Structure 1
Amino acid sequence: MEYMSEEPNLLWKPADEIKQQANLSSYMHWLQQEKDVHMETQAELWDWSVNHLEDFWASIWQYMQIQASEPYTQVLASRQMPGAEWFVGARLNYVEQVFRHATPDRPALLFRSETGPLQEVSWQELQHKVGAVANGLKALGVGVGDRVVAYVRNNIEAVIAFLACASIGAIWSSCAPDFGTKSVADRFQQIEPCVLFATDGYRYNGKLQDRRSTVAELRQALPTLRKTILIPSIYEAPDLTNDADMLLWNELLASDTTLTCTQVAFNHPLWVLYSSGTTGLPKAIVHSQGGILLEHVKFLHLHMDLKPEDRFFWYTTTGWMMWNLLVGGLLVGSTILLYDGCPNYPDIGGLWNLVQEAGITVFGTSAGYLTACMKAEITPGQTYQLTQLRALGSTGSPLPPEGFRWVYQAVKQDLWLASISGGTDVCSAFLGGSILLPVYAGEIQTRVLGAKLEAFDELGRPVINTVGELVLTEPLPSMPLYFWNDPQGKRHRESYFASYPGIWRHGDWIELTSRGSAIISGRSDSTINRKGIRMGSSEIYRAVEDLPEVVDSLVIGVELPDGAYYMPLFVVLKDAQPLTEDVSKKIKTKLRSTISPHYVPDAVVAVHEIPRTLSGKKLEVPVKKLFMGLPLEKVVSLDTLSNPHAFDDFIRIAAQFRTTNGSAVSN
């Protein structure tokens, strides 16, 4: 690997040895030898993959040696969206693909909590425990298509429970224990589960969080439950003599350990994930066993370059799709690390210390964590031994160019930085890394293979080097089968296909560059449209948060009844300093000089925190709706936020604004 300094935006390019050892290179060589398909570059490979969908996905099936008890008769029976039919006739099981990699040479799982030692789980132990829990579930009457839900920590038991569930053809769904009762009930009630896995509590940032009362409330809120399986984590196991509807985890582990994987159709549901639910009931998104299996082996093997000898870690909880993707590391034989705790415990370098301790080779985190480390001016490369770390992943929000540069200055020069962007909707990425390509500051390296992604202008035409709507014009196997309790598919169509019938609109602004990379400019549904000029919020954030005084920021644009437009910028200042006229002027000057006078806000307002979802996304649209006069209960579900108290400032400021300007909407 080489560190580049001759071009200001070119930060890294792979050495020839890295290219030769890359999974992508092996795959292209295989295509040449086995399929007589010749490609020399990533761009040529992507072009072939999206213009020959059937051939591409059939090659992934064969190259990754997908096990199936019955072969498919057709790769893609229908290309329409929604409703594409993939790998018709195939019968398989996700869990079989996991355990075909079982080996005594490497552990399957690593786990650490905030306070405990690093634990290892062998492939054999994992397989035996998955078999025991699967047989225990079957003894409880759980079968194909039944829903099993989990209110659990990101730990070993969570992975075992999920794999056990998938192995018998049941449908999994999980929430992290930092979700409140209403938030969890809003999700789980939709799918009528028969079994609940639950934890009694967890530790976060050094503090004990008791969840026993929440579990009791959930049991009352989920009338379809037949059993609750308690996983004692913090407290001693309770006496269940008088509670016939609850079992202890160890009782399941006492079952027969023989693992038998039930064969299911390619499009049989694997799990239900949920949209953020910041407004309205969360969408219950159903993904298929086969679709997720193929998408994850493709993305993790080819785009994250994961190999069996890798130790793979992404900081996540069981309530974020990155947990599902992390578990997918087992599909390619990698060892995965589970961490249950705060990323900043005992200090902001906590995750870097964990990377050192566990010998992580591929480390994924959020852009927010990386920018927080940058703001804190830490130097992980000097403080920790990161010699084994070869790749760093970033997602959750756009990583600004300054964040890219900080990685190469403060973490490691010989490091591949793979920024990715996708969504819960497909439980994967549309845009991601390629270890064959250089890394440019602020840019995602490539569109992922098999994803026919375009940027559409206002007339629905593909554009290059211009910001447009992120759309997919061809189907992916991991697109939702459907939404639960949406029998006519109305909500499903409205979510993705209302703007362009038959074409997936994701809701992001994107610029595709002439060299094949991409820049995400924020959510298109929170677009700033000032004097007819549309702009994404991320450019503003990059400029403002580059100032040493600013820790975080949020911008909105509000259409007023008289036709005027109000664009305030909210900032969180370092060390809770007061907002002075000098700082406000400095912010406006920065935006005027580095971007455009159109980006200068009408007001700069200091707040204590920027409200974010549990996965770290800024809540621009709910804040905008507050200023438009909508009440808080119609704007956001506070249970879905990582910091619900952050709305206190915005409620007060929005009320003052409406008193002065009047409501922007009719109540």
Structure 2
Amino acid sequence: MEYFSEENTVLWEASEKVKQRANLTDYMYWLKHEKGLQMETPEQLWRWSVDRLEDFWDSIWQYMRIQASEPYTQVLMTHWMPGAEWFVGARLNYAEQVFRHATADRPALLVRSESQSLREVSWQQLQRQVGSVANGLKALGVGVGDRVVAYVPNSAEAVIAFLACASIGATWSSCAPDFGIKSVVDRFQQIEPCVLFAIDGYRYSGKELDRRATVAELRQALPTLRKTIIIPSVYAAPQADSDPATLLWDELLAYDDTLTYAQVAFNHPLWVLYSSGTTGLPKAIVQSQGGILLEHIKFLHLHMDLKPEDRFFWFTTTGWMMWNLLVGGLLVGCTIVLYDGSPNYPDIGALWELVQEAGITIFGTSAGYLTACMKAGITPAQTYQLTRLRALGSTGSPLPPEGFSWVYQAVKQDLWLTSISGGTDVCSAFVGGSILLPVYAGEIQTRALGAKVEAFDEQGRSVVNEVGELVIREPLPSMPIYFWNDPQGQRLYDSYFATYPGTWRHGDWIQLTDRGSVIISGRSDSTINRKGIRMGSSEIYRTVEDLPEVVDSLVIGVELPGGAYYMPLFVVLKDAQPLSEELIKKIKTRLRSTISPHYVPDTVIAVQEIPRTLSGKKLEVPVKKLFLGQSPEKVASRDTLSNPSALDEFIAIATQFRSTLGATVGN
């Protein structure tokens, strides 16, 4: 069945009753009665929020009643980026904001995995266990500013350990257990952690995956570790005294459960997230306690319309920023739902079954999962009870218009489909939903409050109704306070501000419509973005080129009509040997086991040479543009190439691909 919506067709609009109950309506009412500000439309509210930036964020602090032991003396020191310093003088604690909402009326967590049925964790249980783990960490000597890392799945233990770190002022960082050892070491080694939380194994797609050897390697690669806390997940727990450098999770839970909160500066490091590693090691992105607290409260309360009675779920792992945003649901007092497992096990309806079982009201997933459900021909509305579901979030990549149509025909007609787009760099969204606005096929409803999003043309001019570079003209509180091991801030500057000084360039193609909605056209840089998982080409190169048969390689990701995505890997082989099926299998197996299954290409193609610039850089973006149908003359100047003839082979391959338009494309 084909799903199609005509351009400019409204697919959904909230009823007047829903609009009256919306958090955004309440906030606008508050602005009117507390500040004397009359906002007639969401667009007018957005304009005020970016034109009067300090007034807006000051109002969020007051409206959400942010708790702080010391007040701020100034909202924003400077508007220049990088270098903006927010809420100067304020001292607070992220975890303290979370537990302001502790109640016996509803659970804090609902937790399920492939092997364990749904269980509740009450607010009281969560608070006690966070207190015990925090006191256990303090007993190990962990203090303010120390780094604690975790190699764990999306579990209650992950949330507990993170909140414990936040409560004592330590800095958290996590990777999912499907990350191979090299990827984890490349991330954690940079920040010199003192404690590691790790699981012994996990279950995915019905299989048990042993991680004990990986954890042992990881411990050897992190010489700054004082202790490793093992969370038994699959295998029998080892004896507590078998290794003096390890503790068991239950040993931490035996500590006193009194929870206290270290009062830290607004810009104190909360966690370290990582870029995809496109050029060298992944960037270690440091974000602040106060900046994340304020941004997540704003986005989840006003743009996702999260209420305390909601049950909020996003399909994610601990290696994706959406896990951090999901945990942020606790900041507004709702119940968050955690799931550890494959979205396709035992079948593609697994997540819809979870929506039914857990009574999820706001369900977030990737655009790739929604389009996969559409292509599989399933109709969740006919199979599952989705009566409590009121909103569906989509991110990771653009959801095509037919995906929007499928949601309203196959999932639920009275459903708010809120597509969002942002990045790990700010751990939030620049553009997203507004329950007060209609939903149009293929469009994101609005720009986020406080985010001065514009589209720049090639001359750096702001444009509307044209595709341009997504830029941010004013600072956001959750922007990185710095990159780890970047003392002069040069890498931070080069990553976002070198193209347009004082303006953040994000790397997305964006179109702003004249009605204020947004269309994302894909990445403007070379980052691979497959099924909502961003990945860096350099990680693939380091793995593939470590094979003795492979001399050089290049990988691209190509967004295609209908939500399809094509990821070919080009390899130059030693002594020009032929590319055998055995070697293809070897390459894919190495990528799957060393890094992640998400890095396995759709196809492997042997070429004679990889085209490079005079400075030695691989031509990822130009090759991608060839596959998108752009003319060879426009994608690269041969005068800038060290081996211009190498481009000819890629032109021929791309031309053949375009003629068949993805007959060999994987899903």
* C-alpha distance in 2 between matches for 1:127 and 1:214: 31
> Does the C-alpha gap of structure 1 residues 623 and 387 become closer, same or farther in structure 2, counting only changes over 3 Å?
farther
Q: 2:597 aligns with which of 642, 649, 662?
A: 642
Deviation at 1:644, TM superposition (A): 3.5
| Higher mean C-alpha deviation, range 237-246 or range 133-142 | 237-246
Going from structure 1 to structure 2, the CA distance change for 1:60 and 1:654 (only over 3 Å counts) comes to: farther
Matching residue of 2:606: 652
2:158 aligned counterpart, secondary structure: helix
Question: After superposition, what is the alpha-carbon deviation per residue over 1:442-477, rounded to whole angstroms, capped at 9, x for unaligned?
Answer: 000000000001001111111000001100010000
Cα distance in 2 for partners of 1:656, 1:491 equals: 27
TM-score w.r.t. length of structure 2? 0.82
Identity of aligned residues (%): 74
Contact 2:526–2:556 (Cα < 8 Å) also in 1: no
Q: Is the contact made by 1:277 and 1:640 (CA closer than 8 Å) also made in structure 2?
A: no
1:569 Cα offset (Å): 11
Question: Are the aligned partners of 1:521 and 1:537 in contact in 2 as well (CA < 8 Å)?
Answer: no
Deviation of the 1:10 alpha carbon: 1.4
Q: Residue deviations 1:96-128, cap 9 Å, x none?
A: 110000000000000000121101000000000
Amino acid at match of 2:154: N
Query: Structure 1: how far apart are the matches of 2:557 and 2:66?
Result: 50
**Which residue is equivalent to 1:447?**
447
- Contact 2:572–2:607 (8 Å) recurs in 1: no
Tell me how far apart the structure 2 counterparts of residues 526 and 470 of structure 1 sit (CA, whole Å).
Answer: 15
The farther-off stretch of 278-287 and 243-252 is: 278-287
Shift of 1:239: 1.9
1:51 corresponding residue in structure 2: 51
Measured against aligned partners, the alpha-carbon deviations of 1:54-89 in whole angstroms (never above 9, x if no partner) come to 000000001111000000000001111001010000
Alpha-carbon distance between aligned partners in 2 of 1:61 and 1:569, rounded to the nearest angstrom? 43
Is residue 198–residue 229 contact of structure 1 (8 Å, CA) maintained in 2? yes
Aligned-partner Cα distance in 1 for 2:133–2:240:
19
Counterpart-to-counterpart distance in 1, 2:342 and 2:460:
43
Whole-Å separation in 2 of the counterparts to 1:625 and 1:91:
55
Q: 1:641 to 1:467 in 2, by over 3 A?
A: farther
Where structure 1 has 5 or more consecutive residues not aligned to the other structure, the ranges are 528-535, 542-567, 573-586, 595-606, 612-619
Secondary structure in 2 matching 1:78: coil
Question: Using a 3 Å threshold, how does the CA distance of structure 1 residues 623 and 422 change in structure 2: closer, same or farther?
Answer: farther
SS in structure 2 of the partner of residue 70 of structure 1: coil
Structure 2: stretches of 5+ with no match in the other structure: 532-554, 577-583, 613-642, 649-667
Q: In structure 1, the residue corresponding to 2:198 is in which secondary structure? A: strand
Q: Given residue 646 of structure 2, which amino acid in structure 1 is its aligned partner? A: S
CA gap 1:56/1:645 in 2 versus in 1, 3 angstroms? closer
Distance in 1 between residues matched to 2:272 and 2:605, nearest whole Å: 33
Q: How many residues align?
A: 578
Q: Assess if the C-alpha contact under 8 Å between 1:431 and 1:447 holds in 2.
A: yes
Paired position in structure 1 for 2:502 = 502
1:75 maps to what in 2?
75
- Cα deviation, residue 655, structure 1: 6.3
Which of 641, 647, 667 is the aligned partner of 1:664? Answer: 647
- The structure-2 alpha-carbon separation of the partners of 1:623 and 1:381, relative to structure 1 and needing over 3 Å to count, comes to farther
Q: What amino acid is aligned across from residue 664 of structure 1 in structure 2?
A: L
Shift of 1:327: 0.1
Aligned-partner residue type, residue 419 of structure 1: S
Q: Equivalent residues in 2 for 1:219-258 (5 A)?
A: 219-258=219-258
Distance between the aligned counterparts of 1:302 and 1:657, measured in 2?
Answer: 47
Decide whether aligned partners of structure 1 residues 179 and 515 sit closer, same or farther in structure 2, where only a CA change above 3 A counts: same
1:401-435 per-residue CA deviation (whole Å, 9 max, x = no partner) reads: 00000000000000000000000000000000000
> Cα–Cα, structure 1 residues 625 and 463, in superposed 2: closer, same or farther, change >3 Å?
farther
Q: From the superposition, tell whether residues 645 and 457 of structure 1 become closer, same or farther in structure 2 (CA, over 3 Å).
A: closer
Structure 1's 637 and 204: CA in aligned 2 closer, same or farther, altered over 3 A? closer
Q: Which amino acid aligns with 1:199?
A: I
**What does 1:103-142 correspond to in 2, within 5 Å?**
103-142=103-142
Deviations 1:203-237 (A, max 9, x none): 00101100000000000000000000000000111
State whether residues 92 and 263 of structure 1, in contact with CA within 8 Å, keep that contact through their aligned partners in structure 2: yes
Alignment partner, residue 365 of structure 1 = 365
Would the alpha carbon gap of residues 654 and 110 (structure 1) be closer, same or farther in structure 2, given more than 3 Å must change? farther
- State whether structure 2 residue 18 is matched by structure 1 residue 18: yes
* 1:277-426 pair list within 5 angstroms: 277-426=277-426
Structure 1, residues 388-409: CA drift from partner, whole Å, max 9, x if none?
Answer: 0000000000000000000000
Deviations 1:536-586 (A, max 9, x none): 999xx9xxxxxxxxxxxxxxxxxxxxxxxxxx99999xxxxxxxxxxxxxx
Write the letter of the residue equivalent to 1:652: A
Residue 240 of structure 1 deviates from its aligned partner by 3.9
Alignment-mate amino acid for residue 100 of structure 1: R
2:600 and 2:368 map into 1 onto residues whose CA distance is 19
Note if contact 2:5-2:401 (Cα within 8 Å) is conserved in structure 1.
no
For 1:507 and 1:77, the matched residues in 2 are separated by 27
Task: Name the CA shift for 1:295/1:637 in 2 (closer, same or farther; >3 Å).
Answer: farther
Q: 1:168 is matched with which residue?
A: 168
SS of residue paired to 2:258: coil
Say if 1:277 and 1:637, in contact at 8 Å, map to a contact too. no
User: What are the Cα deviations for residues 296-351 of structure 1, in whole angstroms up to 9, with x where unaligned?
Assistant: 00000000000000000000000000000000000000000000000011100100
CA distance in 2, matches of 1:260, 1:300: 26
Check whether the contact 1:90–1:265 (CA below 8 A) recurs between aligned residues. Answer: yes
Q: Match of 1:517?
A: 517
TM-score, normalised to structure 1's length? 0.82
Asked whether the 8 Å contact 2:321–2:427 carries over to 1, the reply is yes
Decide whether aligned partners of structure 1 residues 571 and 101 sit closer, same or farther in structure 2, where only a CA change above 3 A counts: closer
| Equivalent position SS for 2:11 | strand
Report the Cα offset of residue 664 of structure 1: 3.4
> 1:597 maps to which residue?
none
- Give the direction of change, closer, same or farther, for the CA distance of 1:524–1:5 in structure 2 (3 Å limit): closer
The residue number in structure 2 matching 1:429 is 429
Task: Give the secondary structure class of the aligned counterpart of 1:646.
Answer: coil
Task: Give the distance between the partners of 2:212 and 2:151, measured in 1 at CA.
Answer: 11
